[in-house]
Amino acid sequence: MSDDQTEQKKQKLNRLQTPLGVFDILPEDHLYYTHIKKVVRHRCRQSGFRRITTPIFEFTDVFQRSIGDATDIVQKEMYTFSDRKDRSLTLKPEGTAGVVRAYLQHGMKELPQPVELYYIEPHFRYDRPQKGRYRQFWQFGFEVIGELDPALDAQIIQLSHKIFEDLGIAHMLSLQINSIGCPICREEYITQLQNYYVGKERSLCEICRERLVKNPLRLLDCKEEDCQILAQLAPKLNMYLCKECKEFHAKVLEFLEATGIEYQKNDKLVRGLDYYTRTVFEFWDKSEGAQNSVGGGGRYDGLIELMGGASTPAVGVAFGMERIILNMKKEKIEVPSKDDLHIFVAQLGDEAKKTCLNLIWELRERGVKTVGALGKGSMKAQLRLADKFKVPYTLILGITEVRENTIIIRDMAKGQQKIVSFDTVIDEVVNLIGEKNLDKYSPGEVVYG
Ligand code: HAM
Measured in angstroms, how far is the CA atom of residue 192 from the centroid of ligand 1? 29
C-beta of residue 212 within 8 angstroms of C-beta of residue 194: yes
DSSP state of 317: E
Cβ 93 under 6 angstroms from ligand 1: no
What pLDDT sits at residue 288? 81
Nearest-CA residue for ligand 1 atom 23 is 320
pLDDT at 247 over 80: yes
Nearest-CA residue for ligand 1 atom 20 is 133
Cα 328 to Cα 321: distance, rounded to the nearest angstrom: 10
Q: Binning pLDDT at 50, 70 and 90, where does residue 7 land?
A: low
Cα 213 to Cα 268: distance, rounded to the nearest angstrom: 18
pLDDT at 1 over 60: no
The residue-averaged pLDDT of 54-77 equals: 94
Nearest-CA residue for ligand 1 atom 16 is 133
Whose CA is closest to 272, among 418, 419, 125, 400?
125
Cβ 147 under 6 angstroms from ligand 1: no
What pLDDT sits at residue 259? 96
What pLDDT sits at residue 449? 63
Cβ 61 under 6 angstroms from ligand 1: no
What pLDDT sits at residue 320? 98
Mean pLDDT of all residues in the chain? Answer: 93
What pLDDT sits at residue 445? 67
Q: Binning pLDDT at 50, 70 and 90, where does residue 12 land?
A: low
- The pLDDT tens digits of the residues spanning 314-348 come to 999 999 999 999 999 999 999 988 889 999 999 99
Between 10-19, 64-73, 101-110, 245-254, the lowest mean confidence (pLDDT) is in 10-19
What pLDDT sits at residue 373? 80
User: What are the residues facing 142 on neighbouring strands?
Assistant: 118, 317
What pLDDT sits at residue 289? 73
Measured in angstroms, how far is the CA atom of residue 189 from the centroid of ligand 1? 26
Nearest-CA residue for ligand 1 atom 10 is 295
What pLDDT sits at residue 8? 62
Nearest-CA residue for ligand 1 atom 18 is 133
Q: Binning pLDDT at 50, 70 and 90, where does residue 11 land?
A: low
pLDDT at 175 over 70: yes
pLDDT at 13 over 80: no
Nearest-CA residue for ligand 1 atom 25 is 94
Cβ 294 under 6 angstroms from ligand 1: yes
Pocket test residue of 145, 291, 323 for ligand 1, highest count of atoms within 8 A of CB: 323
Between 95-104, 124-133, 211-220, 357-366, the lowest mean confidence (pLDDT) is in 211-220
For the chain, the C-alpha Rg in angstroms (whole number) is 28
pLDDT at 447 over 80: no
Q: Which atom of ligand 1 is nearest the CA belonging to 73?
A: 3
Cβ 318 under 6 angstroms from ligand 1: yes
Cβ 401 under 6 angstroms from ligand 1: no
Nearest-CA residue for ligand 1 atom 9 is 295
Q: Binning pLDDT at 50, 70 and 90, where does residue 5 land?
A: low
Cα 115 to Cα 105: distance, rounded to the nearest angstrom: 14
What pLDDT sits at residue 292? 76
What pLDDT sits at residue 442? 75
What pLDDT sits at residue 6? 66
pLDDT at 448 over 80: no
Cα 145 to Cα 192: distance, rounded to the nearest angstrom: 32
The residue-averaged pLDDT of 234-240 equals: 91
What pLDDT sits at residue 374? 78
Measured in angstroms, how far is the CA atom of residue 237 from the centroid of ligand 1? 23
Cα 449 to Cα 444: distance, rounded to the nearest angstrom: 16
Nearest-CA residue for ligand 1 atom 22 is 320
